[in-house]
Structure 1
Amino acid sequence: MTEWTADHIPDQHGRTAVVTGANSGLGLVTAAELARRGAYVVLAVRNTAAGEEAARRIGGDTEVRELDLASLASVRAFAERLAADHPVIDLLVNNAGVVLLGPRRTTADGFELHLGTNLLGQFALTGLLLGPLAAAPAARVVSLSSITHKTAHLDFDDLMFERGYRPATAYGRSKLATTVFGVELDRRLRAAGSPVVSVLAHPGLTRTNLTPRAWEHRGRLGRLIASAGLLATQPVERGALPQLRAATEPGVRGGRFFGPAGLWETRGRVTDARLSEEAADPAVGARLWAVAEKLTGVSCL
């Protein structure tokens, strides 16, 4: 089978795509490739100055809008303005994420930062944009998972890690939650007969700015650890391929999960990835969905 590359992306003219975290890393590559193929790309970023610089680098037909997934007020304001200006949205790539290995931190709404950003912010954003997505003929939502979801577990008695906080575990839990959300979204879209499709992807071990930032609090030791970790990672251009395939492959079925094929899904060509048993469990999906609706105040299907 021919290896899937960005050159396989079909023409995107006429499509409006929203990419969160599009000013750097996987999001920047994703936005750039979509724009290169003709999509109108909304760069949804926390730092608009960095977003404008990214837009200049990308070229094509783009715009920059402020979005902080760690603030439900920001998510609501962004979604309201975007839907007013773009009543039809063809693609939402929930790319943005945070990993911080320091002390426990919270979002503007008091949620543990990893879960609040990587799940709840994206859950609210997706729910608030389902109207414009459903107005498109073949829209899709791409949720960005991680190989860390495979060893994580959702503790519904302490989702916010108020007891015994462990940052790496909190990050893995948030990515499991994101994965559960993508799978459960597919179930609910199908049940509702919606034209929107939910697809998932993960980048394996990829060289982005998340790892260096995660270790910033550890000073010189942190920088050494981050540098050593870069040796085990693949370039960001390759790491972005699973989510680009999820976003653009014609006729992709809902619930499909893309990731790297080699070395325990850490690197290599794009193929179908494997969900953990917990991520695929409908009971877990239904329970997390109810919690997310309650915490965000957003009714998402």
Structure 2
Amino acid sequence: MTGWTADRIPDQHGRIAVVTGANSGLGLVTATELARHGAHVVLAVRNTDAGEEAARRIGGDVEVRELDLASLGSVRAFAAGLAADHPAIDLLVNNAGVVLLGPRRTSVDGFELQLGTNMLGHFALTGLLLDKLAAAREARVVNLSSITHKNAHLDFDDLMFERNYRAAPAYGRSKLATTIFGVELDRRLRAAGSPIVSTLAHPGLTHTNLTPRAWEHRGRFGQLIAWVGLLATQSVEQGALPQLRAATEPGLRGGQFFGPSVLWETRGPVTDARLSREAADPSVGKQLWAAAEELTGISYL
């Protein structure tokens, strides 16, 4: 395939990069490329044994730290430890995610697990690290979206999906919330005159341990995507390119969103991706932000 490749990543020496979920899949590829280009990479992982194995595979200047995004206590402890050891953070890649099958499950804090992990945990983490990001010269936050966000809708009367729960729509809602968070973060950073840049990316349909689950039980649309996926699914190395571009390309403006360019953004060279109407709606962004502040107890911007 042609287009943007990891070879275009500029020198990352002297930069501190935090990648959540860095022990496998997209996170592992992202951490590997950042380290290969000279960054000091923090592998923020729930399973530190898996993180240490990933660190051995990556080589370079990496460290492993425990982070369970499904626990606000863990998020606070991680952020405090990281802040104590690093005066500034140049890059935060909010990559980690969970996809569920079967019955509804909740996080340590009682959130629907997919929303709690994929969006609320990252919302809290970003807020707790914001001062350290602001201390860097050209800091950037990348949030990982999904094409599933395009067919999702947030119900603010039932944000935790306690009524008529279905795992796959709940995943779509969690990725819509993550996308809205990244867009609203950009709005608020700009309004505050912050030098931090918020960007977004999605991997299309990529061979990871999460992708097949995201389309389970989605009716005819999900079956269509599954059949398309047999032809369209791309390697994890290709799938990681949108977030690597969002993380490293010089001169990006806040709010830029990258994804694959072929077959309804399922695969192919990296290009500008399209937000759903709901994801781009400032009123929805404001409402979700207020809900996230209340749920996590963390207010910023």
Give the TM-score normalised by the residue count of structure 1: 0.94
Give, in angstroms, the shift of residue 231 of structure 1.
Answer: 5.6
The amino acid that maps onto 1:240 is A
| Contact 2:168–2:215 (Cα < 8 Å) also in 1 | no
Once the two structures are superposed, residues 239-290 of structure 1 have per-residue CA deviations (whole angstroms, 9 ceiling, x without a partner) of: 0000000000001100000000000000000000000000000000000000
Q: Distance in 1 between matches of 2:112 and 2:145?
A: 18
| Contact 1:6–1:244 (Cα < 8 Å) also in 2 | yes
Question: Is residue 168 from structure 1 mapped to residue 200 from structure 2 by the alignment?
Answer: no
Give, in angstroms, the shift of residue 101 of structure 1.
Answer: 1.6
| Contact 1:101–1:215 (Cα < 8 Å) also in 2 | no
Equivalent residue, structure 2, for 1:109: 109
Equivalent residue, structure 2, for 1:297: 297
Q: Distance in 2 between matches of 1:279 and 1:267?
A: 21
Equivalent residue, structure 2, for 1:49: 49
Equivalent residue, structure 1, for 2:138: 138
| Contact 2:51–2:64 (Cα < 8 Å) also in 1 | yes
Q: Percent identity?
A: 84
Give the TM-score normalised by the residue count of structure 2: 0.94
Equivalent residue, structure 2, for 1:276: 276
| Contact 1:143–1:178 (Cα < 8 Å) also in 2 | yes
SS in 2 for 1:254: coil
Equivalent residue, structure 2, for 1:17: 17
- Cα distance change of structure 1 residues 289 and 215 upon mapping to structure 2, 3 Å threshold: closer
Q: Distance in 2 between matches of 1:174 and 1:278?
A: 13
The amino acid that maps onto 2:128 is L
| Contact 2:145–2:200 (Cα < 8 Å) also in 1 | yes
Once the two structures are superposed, the pairs formed by residues 7-156 of structure 1 within 5 Å of their partners are 7-156=7-156
- Cα distance change of structure 1 residues 188 and 101 upon mapping to structure 2, 3 Å threshold: same
| Contact 2:171–2:214 (Cα < 8 Å) also in 1 | no
Once the two structures are superposed, residues 115-163 of structure 1 have per-residue CA deviations (whole angstroms, 9 ceiling, x without a partner) of: 1011100000000000100000110000000000001000000010100
SS in 2 for 1:57: helix
Q: Distance in 2 between matches of 1:148 and 1:212?
A: 12
The amino acid that maps onto 1:19 is V
Once the two structures are superposed, residues 25-58 of structure 1 have per-residue CA deviations (whole angstroms, 9 ceiling, x without a partner) of: 0000000000000000000000000000000000
Q: Distance in 1 between matches of 2:291 and 2:212?
A: 32
Q: Distance in 2 between matches of 1:254 and 1:70?
A: 27
The amino acid that maps onto 1:123 is F
The amino acid that maps onto 2:270 is V
Question: Is residue 190 from structure 1 mapped to residue 155 from structure 2 by the alignment?
Answer: no
5+ residue gaps in structure 1? 217-225
Question: Is residue 247 from structure 1 mapped to residue 243 from structure 2 by the alignment?
Answer: no
| Contact 1:126–1:300 (Cα < 8 Å) also in 2 | no
SS in 1 for 2:63: strand
The amino acid that maps onto 1:68 is D
The amino acid that maps onto 1:92 is L
Once the two structures are superposed, residues 142-199 of structure 1 have per-residue CA deviations (whole angstroms, 9 ceiling, x without a partner) of: 0000000001000000010100001110000000000000000000000001110000
Structure 1 stretches of at least 4 aligned residues deviating more than 2 Å after TM superposition: 211-216, 226-232
Once the two structures are superposed, residues 45-84 of structure 1 have per-residue CA deviations (whole angstroms, 9 ceiling, x without a partner) of: 0000000000000000000000000000000000000001
SS in 1 for 2:294: helix
- Cα distance change of structure 1 residues 47 and 213 upon mapping to structure 2, 3 Å threshold: farther
The amino acid that maps onto 1:34 is L
SS in 1 for 2:179: helix
Give, in angstroms, the shift of residue 211 of structure 1.
Answer: 3.9
Q: Distance in 1 between matches of 2:96 and 2:234?
A: 19
Equivalent residue, structure 2, for 1:220: none
Q: Distance in 2 between matches of 1:111 and 1:36?
A: 37
SS in 1 for 2:252: coil
5+ residue gaps in structure 2? 217-225
SS in 1 for 2:199: strand
